[in-house]
Copies of this chain bind each other. A is one copy, B any other.
Amino acid sequence: MSGPGHDDQNMPVAPWERARKRPAAVRVPLTRERIVDAAFVVLDREGFDRLSMRQVAAELGVAVSALYAHVESKDELFQHMYARLFDGYELPDPDPANWQEQIKDYARRGRARLLEHRDMARISMAHVPFTPELLPHVERLMAILRSAGLPDKVVAAAGDMISTYMDGFAFEESMWEERRRTTQADTWDEMQVTLKEYFDALPADRFPNLVELSRMMFHDTNDSRFELGLEIILRGLASYVQPRDPA
């Protein structure tokens, strides 16, 4: 998939190399990249709970123990999957006039990446503290927030808040997806109808607000709910903006 050096697979083998290359071509060499690729295939097909080293090995047609030559543990495999989240996912240089849009865009792309693979948010969630892959992002995020004129204390808290919001939101989405899968609901719309019915059937004397607001909670798309939460956080942050150079 994303590993390098696969381009020559479709090329015919030169006759004078045939004798040498044939035996080597029978087994594609096992690499960490291929293991991570296979892990994503298993993750998407089986989900996080059924992602086991044995399943990954089976996907590659290889013994389990072979994986441990390239990956120290299942945890390290998760770390490499986590690192994939950040491939080519960059923050722009600070543009103080547009800082809010810059951060929103960053968050949107982050959520999109988390939703690319099933249960990916669960893997990401287990890595919230500062990992080396995350540091450059936090650095640039802070650059943007500082350029906007936010006090340092707020900047320090905001980085965590934004990534926690992204992870938490995508995590919830994963959970609804899984619930949908275990139910008979085939589509997301069908699921929403079921949920809305459930809330409508709640005793209105004990849950007046829930009954009345169920429309809001389930008619909106996840995208617009995500967007609204983002806007709330950014308005809160913006309220801390103070002029930088009172010249």
Contact = CB atoms under 8 A, between A and B. Distances in A.
Interface string A148-163: 0000111111101100
Contacts of A138: 210
Contacts of A106: none
A176 to B, nearest CB: 6
Interface residues of A, number: 53
A142 B239 contact: no
Given A135-B202, A171-B125, A156 B213 contact: yes
A216 B172 contact: no
A175 B129 contact: yes
Contact of A209 (B125, B143, B206): B143
Contacts of A217: 156
Specify how many copies of this chain sit in the oligomer: 2
A213 B160 CA distance: 13
Contact of A228 (B157, B176, B179): B157
Interface stretch (A19-27, A64-72, A80-88, A229-237): A229-237
Given A139-B208, A157-B228, 13 more contacts: A129-B172, A129-B179, A139-B207, A142-B209, A142-B210, A157-B229, A160-B229, A161-B232, A164-B169, A231-B236, A235-B235, A235-B236, A236-B236
Closest 7 CB pairs between A and B? A236-B236, A232-B236, A156-B216, A164-B168, A142-B209, A235-B236, A235-B239
